[in-house]
Amino acid sequence: MPSLHWTGKDKAVVAAREVPYRLLVAEPSLGYGDPDNENLLIQGDSLDALKSLLPVYAGRVKCIFRLIGKLHQ
């Protein structure tokens, strides 16, 4: 299996472990399309979002698109 390596990875892994898991809460007013679709759009802190996916989606995620920077200027 491929793996990613970068300078400071060990510290990043330790820091990520210290971040608590968060529960994803659907906001129906922001939903779009078929509610039974398995696709998710999560807006928020990247680490919080990824950690919230682990309990249910570990090993099942096909693609993660992470937008870096501001969405609106």
The CA distance from 48 to 61, in Å, is 16
HSE (CB half, 13 Å, CA atoms) of 42?
Answer: 21
Residue 45: its H or E element: none
Instruction: Say if pTM beats, i.e. exceeds, 0.95.
Output: no
Backbone angles phi, psi at 58, to 5 degrees: -55, 125
pLDDT of residue 10: 94
| Residue 58, domain extent | 1-73
The CA distance from 45 to 63, in Å, is 17
From 21-25, 43-47, 68-72, the region with the lowest mean pLDDT: 68-72
The two tokens of residue 63 are: 């693609």
Q: Over the stretch 26-62, which tens digit does the pLDDT of each residue have?
A: 888 888 888 788 787 888 788 888 888 888 888 887 7
Number of domains in the chain: 1
* CB 51 within 8 Å of CB 21: yes
